[in-house]
Structures are given as C-alpha cells and as structure tokens.
C-alpha cells in the first residue's frame, strides 16, 4: 500500500476497514491456537506421559506457540495500521467533500456578484446617459458597482488559491 501524495484522500476507507477487521479476526484465531498449544504443553502430565517423546512435544509445542504469537502480533499490527490509515483516508475524503461544497458555494456567490456588477453597471450607464452626467443616483450606482467589483475580485483570488 502506498500513499498518493497528490491525492491523500485516494482509496477505499471501507475496504481498508474491512481488511483491518479480517486481519483482527485472523489474529484472534491464531491467538486462540497459541493458547491451546501452551495449554497442551502445560497439560502433558508426567504421571501419564514420560520420557523423551513428552519432552520433545513440550519443546515443539512451545516453539509452535512462539511462532503463533509472532504471527498473531503481525496480523494485529496490520489490522491496526489498516484501521488507522482507513480512518485517515476517510477523514481526508470528508474534508475534500466539505471543501468542494464550499468552493461550489463560493463560485455561486461569485456568479451572483458578477451578475450584480453587470446590472449595476448597466443601471449606471442608463442613469448617466438619461441625466446627462453626474447625479447623486449615478454616484450611488457607481459606489455599488465598485463594492461589487471588490467582492468579485476577492472571491476570484480566494478560488484561485484553493
């Protein structure tokens, strides 16, 4: 598994979490086998079973239990890593969705502001030509057009930075 530095949210969090659960289940199964191996070695009663074969069994069971412990630890480590990574990818994907929604809202606001600017500009031109020049209404419309221009410029810069 590798991390895509260009898209940290790339991947299937649900699949990663399912793989984590599968490994945790395998680890539990192996841990149970390990306990049974240790129990079998401990229950090799010398009054019932004695000699070299008993000693060989105890040594082999202990070695097998140690190997099973190592295997279970690996499954548990993989499970933990997949769980952590899957949760992290899910969190990144959630943040990406939020950012996409914010961007869409900002683009909508920018579109509205541009429409308002065009409308205010047309109103200003109409007022200017209808009144023959500098009037209070024309100055008010010009101020409004300038305000809208500032907002659209700020929104455009913000979207470019995302």
The vertex-146 CA angle with 132 and 130, nearest 5°, equals 15
* CA dihedral for 99, 90, 85, 15, sign (positive or negative): negative
Output DSSP code: residue 49: S
pLDDT, tens digit (0-9, with 9 covering 90-100), for 10-29? 889 999 999 999 999 999 99
Q: Report the chain's mean pLDDT, rounded to a whole number.
A: 86
Q: What is the mean pLDDT of residues 1-11?
A: 72
Placement of tokens 């499954």 in the chain: 75
What is the mean predicted confidence (pLDDT) over 57-77? 97
* The model's pTM: 0.63
> Do the beta carbons of residue 17 and residue 82 sit within 8 Å?
yes
For residue 43, what are the contacts with CB-CB under 8 A and spacing of at least 6? none
Token reading at 51: 């000699």
Taking residue 105's Cβ as centre, other Cβ atoms within 10 Å add up to: 10
| Percentage with pLDDT > 70 across the chain | 91
Lowest-confidence region among 15-29, 107-121, 141-155 = 141-155
Distance in angstroms (rounded) separating the CA atoms of residues 62 and 162 = 59
Residue 107 and residue 102: Cα distance in Å, rounded? 9
CB of 145 within 8 A of CB of 114? no
Q: Where are the beta strands (DSSP E) in the chain?
A: none
């Amino acid at each position: 598994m590798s991390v895509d530095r260009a898209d940290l949210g790339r991947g299937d969090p649900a699949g990663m979490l399912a793989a984590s659960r599968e490994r945790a289940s395998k680890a539990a199964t192996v841990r149970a086998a390990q306990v049974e191996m240790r129990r079998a070695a401990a229950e090799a009663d010398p009054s019932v079973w004695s000699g070299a074969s008993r000693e060989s069994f105890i040594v082999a069971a202990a070695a097998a239990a140690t190997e099973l412990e190592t295997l279970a630890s690996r499954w548990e480590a993989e499970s933990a890593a997949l769980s952590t990574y899957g949760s992290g990818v899910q969190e990144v994907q959630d943040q990406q969705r939020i950012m996409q929604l914010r961007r869409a809202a900002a683009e909508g606001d920018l579109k509205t502001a541009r429409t308002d600017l065009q409308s205010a500009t047309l109103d200003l031109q109409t007022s200017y030509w209808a009144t023959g020049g500098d009037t209070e209404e024309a100055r008010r419309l010009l101020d409004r057009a300038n305000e809208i221009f500032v907002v659209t410029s700020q929104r455009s810069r913000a979207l470019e930075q995302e």
